[in-house]
Structure 1
Amino acid sequence: MAARHTASRTLLSLAFFAPFAVHAAPTSLNELVVVGSRAPAQISQIPGSVWVLEDEELEEQFRAGQDLKTVIGKLVPSMDLAPETRTNYGQNMRGRSVLVMIDGVSLNGSRGLSRQFDSIDPFNVERIEVLSGATAVYGGGSTGGIVNIITKKGREGDAQFSTEIGVSSGFNSSEDRQYRFGQSIAGGNDRLKGRLAIATEDNGAMYDGNGDAIMPDISQTDLQYNRSLDVMGSTEIRINENQKLDLTAQLYNSGYRGNQGAWLGPYLAEINNPEIRNGFSSDRDPQTDRHMFNLAWQHLDFLGHTAYLQASMRNEESSFHPYPYQRATLPQSYFGASQQNTRQYLIKGLLAKDFGNVRLNYGIDLDREDFSANQMIFDNATAFPSGGMTFDEEFTIDRYPDYRVEGIAAYFQAEWQATERLQLNAGIRQRHARLEMEDFIGTQQAVEVERGLVTSADTIPGGENDYDVTLLNAGGIYNLNDDQQVWANVSQGFEIPDPGKVAGRGNYSLSDGHYVLTDSLNINDNTVPGLKTNQVELGWRTYQVQWDVQVAAYYTWSDKEAVTNRTTLTVDVVDNKTRDYGLEGALTWRANRQWSFGGTAHYARSEVEGANGDWKKNLVTAASLPNATAFVQWRDSQNSARLQGSRAFGIKDDAGDEINGFTTFDLLTSRELPLGRVNFSITNLLDKQYNTVWGQRAQLFYGFEDLFDFKGQGRAYTLSYSVDY
């Protein structure tokens, strides 16, 4: 018992947040995991499903030209397969939303922009830790799970350089290519060490399994003709034997750099029969632009505790593709492209202490988010006649009301080693937040004012309100022996309705050329609530010399939903019972030193309660698809080859809509050279022709089948070279 707690304190001294992570082979229940910037813990101490993707495993996938969300979707069973576009909308975990972080810094915001994985170049990723299931221990937005992306850091020693280059193509045309380059320098001593890296990726066109160009996504935007640049630096300062400080900074830009677009015909005459054409130009191109700073401090003996403090800032601008808004007359119609800006500040403090067989973690989180959005409106005289290919700015107006969310949360988590084999955990989190919203003129009314169609319009009043939410968790772990354990937990997660969607709404009537506000949503009297998600989970895992297994069954439910009543213009919390349940698991069998086999599987079912109390299938636009993967791998001291397949199973709802599934295979090979390593891979080995999940959902959302007929990328060959020196 004492040895166990001594080991735990040693782990605490080795790691805090991602900057201080220790990297161990994922073949032991005692592997250190740093999830969500809380106190470091071993897998054996976490009563829940934990998936750890290590650097070697990740690099094998990344060097095959696959992006972050694709790799996580293929390697983590509870995560949906990637939508193959810029957005990760609908890529849920256990049917619910995911909290994504870089080194413990949240990439989620109150506006659900679904670009959390358009955030970092794989060259800068060291490891990824995933915690499945609803939890409030790490904050809001994690009703389905947590993905913590841990970045590479500097190490002691002389200057160490890393270089990586790669090229991918399906050989369908000269535009069918992807280039990647990464360069880093790292080094230091026991008092000061750091790393500086720059990585870039340049994409061309993408082609499907039939060799046809894939239609550009004018709704959520895609990654065709996209160029990204990721500059990341980190510095670790050891102040003394008890204290150290870590600073990480990132500049990231990922945006469209091309001249191809979706031609919709003059005045949208061919919107149901679009074509891909050259000649696209716009004063606002789709892109993600972010800078982020993170400061982490650790003290091993602060008033008898281990103390952790994290302060971070994230500033992000997300721009979208011009989209047509058709109204009764052409002057009222417009093409608009939004830019949505988020500035987020976080301070997290934690104290940890062992009292015999009991460990206590408690602390306070402070957060502030400032959000603003504008809509660039384009000149009708060029936008509509060009068929949606030429976009010259006419003016810019507000897209959503500006708002600020400020919050404070206190939490307490206890772990009790009840017996030599039994560990019990319980915790509580209390959050209070305040929403402040500015006045706003409706978008349509603002367009008509700017164009001189009307003289003026009333503003929709903003306002202020508060919300409070209390969340609980409890769990237990029982060690069957030194190699395997079972666990059970109950937990709660939460999220708040998107303020930009539920507020800033009003009804207008036209009087003598002026839009009169007849009614609006009164934020002062309409609290935006925190909506809880509940979960029960049972699981078993074991890590053996020859094989690893982890299996978990879960049941997740919620019974409330916040909706905007368009008749009364209020935010109403209504009964809406939904549930997700399923079984997830992963198996790896190392037959001998060369051969290994394995796979993952996730059965998921999402349902809503009907008017008669019966349970019906959830809409296919929201439900997760069951999935499975399998692989066989051969490896010796210099070479490796891996054949892997992934399957998304189709689903159908009670409204008659369906999402068709698909199966793809990849072949990944590598060879160690006297200097460096070369990787050769073929993704979508069989050149499978299929419709992406996002494409099928977009057709249901927007209704234009050909415009949103997004096929999956066909066979692609990737050759890469990497060297450390």
Structure 2
Amino acid sequence: MLLNLNKTAIATHCALFFATLPSFYSIADPLKNPPSNDTSLERMIVTGSRSVERIEGVPSSVTLINKKMLEQDRLMTSELQNLLAFRVPGLAPSTGTSSNSGQTLRGRKALVMIDGVPQSTPLRNGQLGISSIDVGVIERIEVIKGATSIYGNGASGGIINYITKQASNNKAQVQIDASSKFSAVKFDNSSGYRFNGSVNGTLKNVSYVLSSITAETGLERDAEGDIIGLKYGLSEMKSQNLFTKLGYTFDNDKYLQLTYNYYEAQQDTDLIDVVGSVNSGIKTYAVKNITGIEKKGVPQGPRGNHNLMLKYTDDEVFSHTQLTIDGYMQKIENMFFFSTALANPSEGYQGGQSFIKSEKKGLRANLTTQFDWDNIEATFIYGTDALNDVSSQPLADGRIWVPEMDMRNLAAYLQTKLVINDDWILKAGIRQDSIHVNVDDYQTIKVCRTPVKCSIPMDVKGGEINDKSTTYNIGLRYNIHDSFSPFVSFSQGSDISDLGDLLRLATVNDITLIRTEASIVDNYEIGASGQINDLGYEIAAYRSTSELGTSNEYNEVTGVYQPVRAPQKIWGYEAQLNYQLLNNVKTGLSYSWMEGKDTDKDTYLENRIISAPKFTAFVNWQPLDEANIAINYMHVGKRKRFEPIDGNYIGTQGPVNSYNLINLSASYQLNNWQLSLGIENLLNEDYFSARSQAYTFDGYNTKGLGTTVNLGIKVSF
């Protein structure tokens, strides 16, 4: 097997083989030392194959949010979930909270990364990965859609990769910006602040980026002026992001880079919820705690997300082959809200507050070899991944909800790309994963939804879960003409995501009796893209299947939603258009629709998996060289696939009604100064987000943000 081969031997044999190939050319990495002209990078990505390539050479759907888009959208909001929901077709609408639960990518979970370092916690998916860094230190965002195995476990729906800021090739550049956000519906105590200071540059062989961001939100208010509810809430949220990137260039080929990012965001408030639900028809909103009773729990949110990466690149390690070696460490504690659902009155617990602990250590070696042979340009990308992920979900009171899961993952992969006659692009690859997860003996905890509805504690024998999987991908694109470039692809992903959810609700006494095996997701896609004069477009249709998808089923006796492994199929389509209307006016739109079923029962998948249809449009106008105005529009459609049971909707089967959102941003550049204005929900739409409508659990039906203004000023020198 490929995994049993000695890594040094693999590299040696590859070196000898590629050394004999004719007509080589050198590999350049523009993302390592970017040119001063950012437009040359607008169509470049690194995430899809771990090597720099143009989007036109990728036979699958890709969304790139470049620097200019990010800077424009940041004027309206700093919430990454909102930015991504608008820019990425196929990504479910934003939840309006710090949680991305229900915000799937084509109906499946996405692996969130920072510079290729995983932020998601697939062993116990708390679904908080999208909000794991401040947007102010992100240069660009690359989104690869569909199952992919090139980065391993957790990418059954695709990848969201945050590429952090790069140093300029010039002398020190300093940027300071400040902004304040407040409600235009009811100003009282709604104002917050945000400060960002950064410096970057290059001094001889040393490049550097240093950034510090601190922010605090005021009271977030809905269209009626009420304070939005607190479950994963954003009111009175204090956040901090410290970022450092240091690089050293040994010569034209060799480069060393050290990156560290620290992020925390906690909601420290004396507010309490007035709880409603979808079935009661009453919204959940927050009020000041004037009961005189001390609020239970500690602040919710990331208590410290540490990311450390050391990366070495040699563009000419042998035979015009690039070598990249990176080691990384990631540590995070995500604290959830205090929940009475974790009560156990018989032991004196009136509720509980859980948090996800995750520590990852990884080492990756990636080689990229390119050559010309007659009418063929070939690229080979090959290497190994080693990952140790230790995750658990204890409660703040000392109880253990999910035991510690110690995963060791070793993988080897080979990806090939052939460009034939400059028109045909064929990509194919294979990856083999060997996964071992150790879990000690543990006992499930007793949780009570009501005094009479309680789960039954179970002593579970631990052990080792072993899984080996081989996944494949193949894709073909034909660049027949600038106006029409069709593509078709098949890709697989291996996913053992949310093992912790299976363990914490075990109903058997031995871990070997729980269906913990990985699910292989098969993804099929067909589409086309092109540029016709000033009109650019991309259309795609997809279908993904898995024999062991995970959904939830309500247990009437215990009042607990238990995970169920069942085969699933998901299908949908997307379309995106961009049009340069005038030299200073650009517009565009997108539409995405998806559906999914449990194929065993022939029933529709719940709304936490399948999102409602989404339509977006934008107009970007530059009336003066110094001024820019942008308007974004998003329509979320209906999805009503389920009927109430005994008069009530259950789980995440609430009916989703449509709503519309319009956002505006404007900026004016005055020498080194920039003045900006951003307005979210310009027309003060009174709405529940798609997730708030779908989730029937008490306290989740919070309304969306009402009209909110963001004023900013920035100076660069």
Common topology (TM > 0.5)? yes
| Unpaired runs of at least 5, structure 2 | 1-20, 277-281, 449-456, 556-561, 645-653
**What is the CA deviation profile of residues 130-156 of structure 1, one whole-angstrom value per residue up to 9, with x for unaligned ones?**
111121122222222211111112223
Query: Aligned pair in 2 of structure 1 residues 671, 695: CA closer, same or farther (>3 Å)?
Result: same
Report how far residue 522 of structure 1 moved.
3.1
Q: Is the 8 A contact 1:374 1:399 kept in 2?
A: yes
Q: Distance in 2 between matches of 1:527 and 1:608?
A: 17
The CA distance in 2 between the partners of 1:118 and 1:147, in whole Å, is 12
Correspondence 1:74 to 2:86: yes
C-alpha distance in structure 1 between counterparts of 2:285 and 2:85, whole Å: 31
Aligned letter for 1:631?
F
- Cα distance, 1:694 vs. partner? 2.3
Conserved? CA contact 1:647–1:664, under 8 Å: yes
Q: For residue 718 of structure 1, what is the aligned residue in structure 2?
A: 710
| Residue 196, structure 1, aligned to residue 188, structure 2 | no
In structure 2, what is the Cα distance between the partners aligned to 1:184 and 1:112? Answer: 33
- Residue matched to 1:226: 237
Could you tell me which of 387, 390, 400 is aligned with 1:367? 387
Are 2:359 and 1:349 equivalent residues in the alignment? no
Correspondences of 1:528-567 after superposition (within 5 Å)? 528-543=516-531, 546-561=534-549
Aligned-pair CA distance for 1:573:
12
SS at match of 1:722: strand
Contact 2:283 2:703 in 1 (8 A): no
Identity of aligned residues (%): 22
Larger RCO (CA within 8 A; separation ≥ 6): 2
2:425 maps to what in 1? 423
C-alpha displacement at 1:8, in angstroms? 10
| Cα drift, residue 577 of structure 1 | 3.0
Q: Which secondary structure does the structure 2 equivalent of 1:444 belong to?
A: coil
CA separation of 1:714 and 1:333: change in aligned 2, threshold 3 A: same
Instruction: Map 1:20-39 to 2 at 5 A.
Output: 31-35=43-47, 38-39=50-51
Amino acid at match of 2:357: N
Say if 1:290 and 1:317, in contact at 8 Å, map to a contact too: yes
CA distance in 2 between counterparts of 1:724 and 1:520 reads: 62
Quote the Cα distance in structure 2 between the aligned partners of 1:274 and 1:249: 38
**One of 399, 402, 420 as aligned partner of 2:401:** 399
What letter is aligned with 2:236?
Answer: Y
Equivalent position of 1:339 in the other structure: 355
Equivalent position SS for 2:233: coil
- Select 1:205's aligned residue among 203, 215, 219: 219
Partner of residue 593 from structure 2, selected from 599, 603, 612: 603
Which string of whole-angstrom CA distances, capped at 9 and with x for unpartnered residues, describes residues 293-341 of structure 1? 0111111122322111121110000111111137685655521111221
The 10-residue stretch of structure 1 (249-258 or 33-42) with the greater mean CA deviation from structure 2? 33-42
Cα separation, partners in 2 of 1:506 and 1:542, compared to 1, 3 Å: closer
Q: Is this contact kept in 2: 1:261–1:278, CA < 8 A?
A: yes
Summarize the alignment of residues 115-130 of structure 1 with structure 2, pairs less than 5 Å apart.
115-130=128-143
5 Å matches for 1:143-158? 143-158=156-171
In 1, Cα distance between the equivalents of 2:461 and 2:402?
Answer: 13
Do structure 1's residue 276 and structure 2's residue 287 form an aligned pair? yes
Which residue number corresponds to residue 174 of structure 2? 161
TM-score, normalised on structure 2? 0.86
Q: Which moved more, 1:436-445 or 1:535-544?
A: 436-445
- 2:298 is matched by which residue type in structure 1? R
Question: Is the 8 Å Cα contact of residues 19 and 103 (structure 1) preserved in structure 2?
Answer: no
Match of 1:664 in 2: 661
RMSD (Å) for aligned C-alpha atoms: 3.0
The range that moved more, 254-263 or 429-438, is 254-263
**Does 2:442 align with 1:432?**
no
Equivalent residue pairs, number: 656
Q: 2:301 aligns with which of 265, 268, 287?
A: 287
Q: Deviations over 1:172-222 (max 9, x none)?
A: 1321123111000112235111011001121121111122222221xxx22
Distance 1:24 1:647, change over 3 A: farther
CA contact (8 A) 1:232 1:250 kept: yes
- Change beyond 3 A, Cα 1:213–1:420: closer
Residue equivalent to 2:338: 322
Is 1:103 matched up with 2:115? yes
Q: Decide whether aligned partners of structure 1 residues 561 and 599 sit closer, same or farther in structure 2, where only a CA change above 3 A counts.
A: closer
Residues 125, 497 of structure 2: 8 Å contact kept = no
How many angstroms apart in 1 are the aligned matches of 2:252 and 2:156? 39
Q: Note the residue ranges of structure 1 that are not aligned, 5 or more in a row.
A: 266-270, 378-395, 447-456, 508-518, 567-571
Give the match for residue 297 of structure 1: 312
Provide TM-score, normalisation by structure 1: 0.85
Matched with 1:452 is: none
Aligned partners of 2:567, 2:711: CA distance in 1, in Å?
49
- Note if contact 2:103-2:608 (Cα within 8 Å) is conserved in structure 1: no
Q: Is it true that 1:240 corresponds to 2:251 in the alignment?
A: yes
Counterpart-to-counterpart distance in 2, 1:655 and 1:182: 49
Which is worse superposed, 133-142 or 100-109?
133-142
Residues 149, 493 of structure 2: 8 Å contact kept:
yes
- The AA in structure 1 aligned to 2:369 is K
- 1:134 counterpart SS class: coil
Corresponding residue for residue 152 of structure 2: 139
Provide closer, same or farther for how the CA distance between residues 564 and 23 of structure 1 changes in structure 2, counting only shifts above 3 A: farther
Distance in 2, matches of 1:660 and 1:142, equals: 29
The counterpart of 1:625, out of the listed 589, 607, 612, is 612
C-alpha distance in structure 2 between counterparts of 1:273 and 1:170, whole Å = 19
Deviation at 1:607, TM superposition (A): 2.3
